Amino acid sequence: MAEICTEIILALDSDSLDDALRTVHMTLDHVRTYKVGTILFAHHGIESVRRIREAGAEVFLDLKFHDIPNTVRGAVRGAARLGVRLLTIHTPGGIEMMKAALEGAREGARAASVDRPLVIGVTVLTSLAGDEGVEDLVMSRTADAVEAGVDGVVCSAHELAGIRRKFGDALVTVVPGIRLNHQAGDDQARVATPGLAARDGANFIVVGRSVTRSDDPVRTLKMIEEEVRNA
């Protein structure tokens, strides 16, 4: 496998935009891209994306669009106009829905004269335990994402090596459920350390509460950076 540089995405899973922006300003020297998920977006909408981008950061819009193809195309078109770096759709929506999402991303980016965001398909949520059935499902949904032509997938570190072997290095992989060795998994079942995910070829690792709820978020980020470098 070719060497892949693993980048940290920091999740802003807060209902307070002020708290989220404080985290951005505190950690901007260590993080390029911040995840805006359903909690922050439901409370503050596109304002959350705009304010984070104004702070000098990129946005991973993790809303997991999942609907009929035409609806997803329109939703992704609007999201792409915001200038986000990555966005998510749900792979169970099917190949045609994923193709529609990609077309919506192209349309929105073109209309706003911004770069097209990477369209990333969510395979199986990391809250589901990692038995053999889950791994098979992740691989099947990844195959659908590749057929649809989207840029990458969200998977846990447990399926990452298999995805790299089967689909190669060109597929972008986003890996949540990242914890340092001494940290608990919370509500995520398929968790892994930053080093394991980096070693197996993650393009992006998503960290959240392990950093934002730590006593010293910057120190925790530095620990994660060091573990990734040494993987």
Residues forming the active site? 64
The secondary structure of 143-205 as a DSSP string is: HHHHHHT-SEEE--HHHHHHHHHHH-SSSEEEE--B--TTS--TT-SS-B-HHHHHHTT-SEE
Neighbours of 151 (CB within 10 A): 20
Distances in whole angstroms, Cα of residue 48 to Cα of each of 43, 51, 130, 174 = 9, 5, 33, 22
Question: How far is Cα 143 from Cα 87, in angstroms, rounded to an integer?
Answer: 19
Task: Report the distance separating Cα 57 and Cα 38, nearest Å.
Answer: 19
Nearest alpha carbon to residue 46 among 90, 10, 71, 81: 81
The structure tokens listed for 34 are 């911040």
Could you please report the per-residue DSSP string of 104-153?
Answer: HHHHHHHHHTSPPPEEEEE-S-TTS---HHHHHHHHHHHHHHHHHT-SEE
